[in-house]
A and B are shown apart, each in its own frame.
Chain A
Amino acid sequence: MNDAAMLGAAHLHLSRQGRALLDDVSLELPRRGAVALVGPNGAGKSTLMQVLAGQLAPDSGGVTLQGRPLKALDVRARAQRLGYMPQRFEPHWDVTLLDLVQMRLADPARAAQVLAEADLQALGERRWSTLSGGERARGMLAAVLATDPPVLLADEPGAALDVQHRLALVQALARRGRERLVVVVMHDLDLAFECFDRVVVLHAGRVAMDGAPADLLHAPQLDAVFGVHFERIAVAPNTLLRARSLTSKDKP
């Protein structure tokens, strides 16, 4: 493993009821950079995120954080180093945003400062049920990042957001990638290829493609993985993907 790797996965295997969710997945993720994890439904993106976050133990293989096996770190130490934003988050009790940030911090007195830095101080006393989807996403991100973890793993953080809030959130995550490691599961391929430094494409539990967006965008394998024929539309300085038709094997 590369000494410079912040987060590493080596030969991860995970099966449930005879179905391989992760099949020999290996990754090396650097100390800084914005990495998008994409793939069709059921490719294993969320499972991989849970394994990388230490929420799920693989059947074999292992995850390392800063060169140390993740499972050797206790939960508290892991929480300090890894920020994990799950796909769905709905608290059982109607806490305020300030409560949420305080729960993340060892020193709750810093919570107000964290909210101020995220420009969310006006929402601090608002209960979760009264926040909009965009406010919830921003609030949750502020809570996860309150300890300034060197690694952020976010599982479809913009899934429930409108286009404006989704773009703002993705851009904020990509900006963080200049200083820290950010890994984000995404379904929006255009944003993934436009905003991130590196794209990892998962298919059937395996890493199908891994590289810089410009290197992957024109590869025919991308069409095969998603089961569609993409039209590449040049909109300077980017190239947009538009699904034109299903590949023959997936036609109804």
Chain B
Amino acid sequence: MNPSGKMWCLALGALALAVVLGICAGHQWAAPAEIWQAITERDTLRSRLLWEWRMPRVLAAACVGALLGLSGAVFQGVFRNPLAEPYLLGASGGAALGATIALLVPLGLPQSWLLPLMAFAGAWGATILVLGVARVAGALDASGMLLAGVAMAAMLGAIRSFLMLALSDETVSLQVVMSWVLGGIQTPTWSGLGWLALITLACLAATQTLARGLDLLGLGDATAQSFGLDVARFVPRAVLLGSLVVAAAVAYGGLVAFVGLAAPHIARWWVGPRHRWVLPASALAGALVVTVADAIARSVLPPAEVPLGLITAVAGGPFFIVLLARRLRAYGGRA
């Protein structure tokens, strides 16, 4: 099923609407006319706040959502499992450890760039470590990597807990770490947002190179190989690229639960199973979900902000249960 241009336009329109609503939403509702004023004039404090704080924040949420959706589609494609999510190979544990170090260890560097950098390095580093362990163990297939990922996540979680206990001498430090772990979009500057948008587009283009391989992997290793895919080379390459995408998402948005799991499903319902379409559709679905969830996170308990990850987890939990129930029904008890 090739989605028509009209369907893409509708989906992009829905995202644009969500972005506008996201900019309007907050502990003080802004009218659409005020958004226009903020773009064109910025002569009041309110319009400057909208321009410098809310707009980049909402657009960053859309980019983070797109990255999460994209990485989710790559991971579900590689592991051929609809329950796979982008944090599967230790990316979440690595990112959380990196963020904990950035937040608790006094390294004397500005936290505004140290935090995303450490989260990115943690997320990608953990995945590379998982691939290395799987290679040394001679199990560089999907199930081998999965098991190595579970072991790595447990180890990284233990190290993070130790650091939190050993280095946190103020309750507030623990709160900051917990708040980051629960996910939340960092408000970037406009130039920072430009970089994030560029990264998102680059990831979208780079993952398109995986589309045919992910399609073939879905036919099973034997058929993929006989149809011309070098499975042994493709799988680690796809995992590394998928992890790069999720590391970028984590660096800007912390650990946002369930979006990477849900977005590819929404995309497949919409465009069918071919990854040429699933990848951009997952990015769109992820962007839409995170933009809406971020708007709720900023609006639901004014003037406080609920961590974004809590919103997506509360909405995503039931989604996951429904998904599991559908799968159990479809496969007679095999989840």
Contacts and interface: CB of A to CB of B under 8 A. Distances in A.
Genuine A/B complex = yes
Contacts of B80: 92-93
Contacts of A89: 219-220, 223
Nearest to B222: A86
B273 A53 contact: no
SS class of chain B's interface: helix, strand, loop or mixed? loop
Given A94-B273, A95-B274, A75 B222 contact: no
A96 to B, nearest CB: 8
A162 interface: no
Given A99-B273, A99-B274, A103-B212, A91 B226 contact: no
Interface string B1-36: 100000000000000000000000000000000000
A250 interface: no
B224 to A, nearest CB: 9
Choose among A75, A80, A99 the residue with the greatest number of B CB atoms under 10 Å from its CB: A75
Contacts of A96: 1, 272
Contact of B273 (A76, A78, A80, A95): A95
Q: What's the interface size class on A, roughly?
A: 20 to 34
Q: What's the interface size class on B, roughly?
A: 20 to 34
B218 interface: yes
Interface in B197-245: 212, 215-220, 222-223, 225-230
Interface string B246-290: 000000000000000000000010001110000000000000000
Interface string A183-216: 0000000000000000000000000000000000
Contacts of B226: 53, 55, 79, 82-84, 86, 144
Interface of A: 50, 53-55, 74-76, 78-80, 82-84, 86, 89-96, 99-100, 103-104, 144
Given A86-B223, A89-B219, A93-B268, 6 more contacts: A54-B225, A79-B225, A79-B227, A84-B223, A92-B80, A92-B218
7 contacts: A55-B226, A79-B227, A84-B226, A91-B219, A92-B219, A93-B273, A96-B1
